[in-house]
Each structure stands twice: as structure tokens, then as C-alpha cells.
Amino acid sequence: MRFAGAIAIALLIAVPAFAAEIPPADRRSGYDFMKPDTKAMQDEDTANAGMLWVLDGEALWKRKAGAADKACADCHDDVSTSMKGVAARYPAFDKATGRPIDLEQRINACRSNRQQATPLPFESRELLALTAFVARQSRGEKIESSTDPQLAPFIEKGRQLYVQRQGQLMLGCTSCHDENWDKKLAGSAITQGHPTGYPLYRLEWQSLGSLQRRLRACITGIRAQPYDYGAPELVELELYLMSRARGMKMEAPAVRP
Amino acid sequence: MARDVFRISALFLAGALLALPGGAGAQALSPYTVVGDAIPEPLTRVRGDAARGRALVVERSSTCILCHSGPFPEQKFQGDLAPDLAGSGSRGSEGQLRLRLVDASRLNAATIMPSYYRVAGLARVGTPWRGKPILSAEQIEDIVAYLVTLRQ
């Protein structure tokens, strides 16, 4: 009987082996796994629903807000130069808190400190719109987050969260995105889980969503307790994912099935 | 009754040989005895029902066909992370299949196949699922009853 060997094998593998990281030459964006019609949606600005948020973001960028009565544009000049490549460098080290913060948190820091306005809630239309507008300025730029040496301990924490098995199903991110990215989970491509397209329009959500929303969905999928929006663990995961995708091209706002 | 007594004492006798689920929530699980690579005795007194077992296997909430494919022509979306379930009954005995479902990680510590009847040793389980096994003892028996019929 074929099952008979299993016990002997189990004794040999007392500790699960660490999954090897994907070699740079084999890294592929989620885009590569999509059907041609979904790719076309992402490629054509007129078909890409994420562009609606980008347009909203542009309006918000120019609108004065808060006690300071200043718009983002008042401090940052021409967005296509001032914001070019910025999203490709986040999460970044924040001196004020001594921790990495992601792009949404950076935008909210500007709102609180510079505009003296109330921070925007995570996943609110406004925050997604501003983030999409800023991220859009990095389309085609190579991801270079995580080069700051102060980030190293946080990247390592993110990596530990990524390989840790958790939830009622006791799976780790690595179980799917490193070990099984060429396979299908109930018919849908698993992909390598690269963060190149965020915020992105997901057909399943019928909305734009942040990377944190995606991570919380994967965590709930393995029936683990999702971290709250803005939790240090989610930012560390984002940071690790960006370091894992270093050199890949930004595609925000991407489209995914 | 007699059988329960037997099973509980067998468990007691086997003692340290068995790393059975421990911890607070574990009391809700029926005890079982692992012999070699199998759990020869059913988890419930009532035999499993193969028709219910098939329905459970293809149901998304049971998670099986997220990873596995099988002889389910009516199911459009099946996974390919795991062996095809066709022929399971020829490859494993009823007891071997039972242990696979209850706790596959005992057979292969690195497996991605979840332990369907375990509550201890898990990490960060989400509130709706905490303290409960993925499947009940009855559901495990129904699925085992179905898998043994998959002969090649």
C-alpha cells in the first residue's frame, strides 16, 4: 500500500524544511497569470476601473483641507516629478515613530501634521483615491523599498510572519506563494503574491482595495485571526513582500480577478 | 458503551506513545487510537454515510477540492495542489484514510494538508473557528466512508 512509507518519511522530516525563495529570474507578477481580457483591462486606462479612483485622487490632491487650509499640491508641486517612484520605496522608515509606515500611513501623516485635518479611515474612498493617484506616478518604476538599513529588523519580522504557519488550516504564506505558485486553488491561479499593483481593482471585490485588504483576505482564508488595519504586523508583511519583489515593476492601479 | 470503555482504556494504556491532541479545547474531541499509520476504529458509533461524505468533499467549506481534484465531473473548480482523490480507497485502508483526515501532519510534518480533527498545537486561529476542529467526527466518518468507495 502506498501510504505505508509515510511514517518513515515523517520521522526523517522532523522539522519542515524552509521553502526556498523564488530566484529573481523566475519572479512573475500576478499580471502574468491573468487571462488576456483581464490584462487588457489593466493596460487600457479607459477600461481600467482603478483609474476612476486615480481621477478622484487627483481632485483630492488639489483640494485644500484641514486647519492649515493647504492642498497636497501646495507642498508637493508637480505630482509627476515629486511623486515619481515614491510608491516603489514604501513602506519606508518613519523617524517619528521609529518604525516602517506604508504609503497610506504616510499620506495620513501629511494630513494630520501638514494639513491639520483628521486622518482618513483605512479603505475609505478618499484614502484609496489619494494612494492610487500617488502610486500611479510610479507605474513602470522598479521596486526599491527596503534598502534603508534601519528597515532590516522589520523585514526580518515580516519574513517570519510570512513563513509562520497559522490558522485553523495551519498554512503559511509560503505554503502557497513560494511552494505552489504554479498551481491552482479550486481553479484560480495562486501566483507568487507580489505587491506590484496596489492599490488595485479586484473584479471579485468590484472595488479598489489596498494591499492590507488583500493580506487580511489571505489570512482569513487560512482561518487565522486577521490583524487590524494599520497593525505593525501588516506593515512588516508589506515590507517583506516589497523586499521580495525588489526590482520588479510597479503597476498600480493594477487589475486582478 | 462497552466499546467506549475499551477505547478509553486503550488510549490510557498506549500512554506516552501517543501524542494525542491536548490542551483545553481538546476535551470536545472524541478520543482515538493511532496504530501504526492508521486509526482503525471509527470516531463515532454510527457508521459513516458515503453519500453524505461525497457531498461534504465537494462542498467548498470543507476545503478538500480547493486543493484536490477527484471524480466530480459536475464540479467546475477543483484544485491541483494535491493528489487526485480518485482511487483513494485502493491506495489506503479505511484506517489509513481516517488518520490522513484526522491529522495528516503526523504522517508528514511538512504537509500542507490541514489536520481536520485537531484543535491543539494550532497558531492564531480566527475567532469563528477557535476551539473547533475543521470537521466533526461524524463528518470525518462520512468522508472516510466515501473515500473507501473510490477504487481503481
- Binned at pLDDT 50, 70 and 90, residue A179 comes out as very high
**Mean of all residue pLDDT scores within chain B:** 86
- Binned at pLDDT 50, 70 and 90, residue A77 comes out as confident
Residue of B125, B135, B152 to mutate when probing chain A, most A C-beta within 10 A: B125
Across the interface, whether the CB atoms of A225 and B124 are under 8 A apart is answered yes
Our answer to whether residue A218 is catalytic in this structure is: yes
Whether A7 has a pLDDT exceeding 60, the answer reads no
B74 — contact with chain A (CB < 8 Å)?
no
| A70/chain B closest Cα distance in angstroms | 42
Whether A16 has a pLDDT exceeding 90, the answer reads no
Instruction: Reduce the secondary structure of chain A to three states and give it as a string.
Output: CHHHHHHHHHHHCCCCCCCCCCCHHHCCCHHHHCCHHHHHHHHCCCCCCHHHHHHHHHHHHHCCECCCCECHHHHHCCHHHHCCCCHHHCCEEECCCCEEECHHHHHHHHHHHCCCCCCCCCCCHHHHHHHHHHHHCCCCCECCCCCCHHHHHHHHHHHHHHHCCECCCCECHHHHHCCCCCCEECCEECCCCCCCCCCEEECCCCEEECHHHHHHHHHHHCCECCCCCCCHHHHHHHHHHHHHCCCCECCCCCEEC
Report the pLDDT value the prediction gives residue B28, as an integer from 0 to 100: 74
Tell me the average pLDDT across A26-30. Answer: 97
Of the partner residues B67, B77, B134, the one whose CB lies closest to the CB of residue A168: B134
Report the pLDDT value the prediction gives residue A215, as an integer from 0 to 100: 98
Report the pLDDT value the prediction gives residue A146, as an integer from 0 to 100: 72
Write out pLDDT tens, residues A138-169: 999 999 977 789 999 999 999 999 999 999 99
Note which residues in 193-222 of chain A have CB less than 8 A from chain B: 220
Report the pLDDT value the prediction gives residue A147, as an integer from 0 to 100: 79
Whether B6 has a pLDDT exceeding 60, the answer reads no
B62 — contact with chain A (CB < 8 Å)?
no
Whether A176 has a pLDDT exceeding 90, the answer reads yes
Write out pLDDT tens, residues B32-47: 999 999 999 999 999 9
Write out pLDDT tens, residues B15-38: 333 334 444 444 479 999 999 999
Residue A85 C-alpha cell reads as: 517612484
Instruction: Give A175's contacts in chain B (Cβ within 8 Å).
Output: 112
How far, in Å, CA of B13 to CA of A165, rounded?
Answer: 33
| B7/chain A closest Cα distance in angstroms | 23
Report the pLDDT value the prediction gives residue A19, as an integer from 0 to 100: 55
Q: Which range among A109-118, A143-152, A155-164, A226-235 shows the weakest confidence by mean pLDDT?
A: A143-152
**Mean of all residue pLDDT scores within chain A:** 93
Of the partner residues B77, B122, B127, the one whose CB lies closest to the CB of residue A186: B77
Instruction: Give A183's contacts in chain B (Cβ within 8 Å).
Output: 79-81
Report the pLDDT value the prediction gives residue B15, as an integer from 0 to 100: 31
Report the pLDDT value the prediction gives residue A145, as an integer from 0 to 100: 75
Instruction: Give A220's contacts in chain B (Cβ within 8 Å).
Output: 126
- Within 10 A of B8 (CB to CB), how many other CB atoms are there? 12
Whether B84 has a pLDDT exceeding 90, the answer reads yes
Across the interface, whether the CB atoms of B114 and A220 are under 8 A apart is answered no
Residue of B122, B147, B148 to mutate when probing chain A, most A C-beta within 10 A: B122
Tell me the average pLDDT across A56-63. Answer: 98
The structural domains of chain B, ordered by start, are 2-147 (1.10.760.10)
Whether B103 has a pLDDT exceeding 60, the answer reads yes
Whether B9 has a pLDDT exceeding 50, the answer reads no
| Phi, psi dihedrals of residue A100, rounded to the nearest 5° | -70, 145
| A118/chain B closest Cα distance in angstroms | 31
Whether A50 has a pLDDT exceeding 90, the answer reads yes
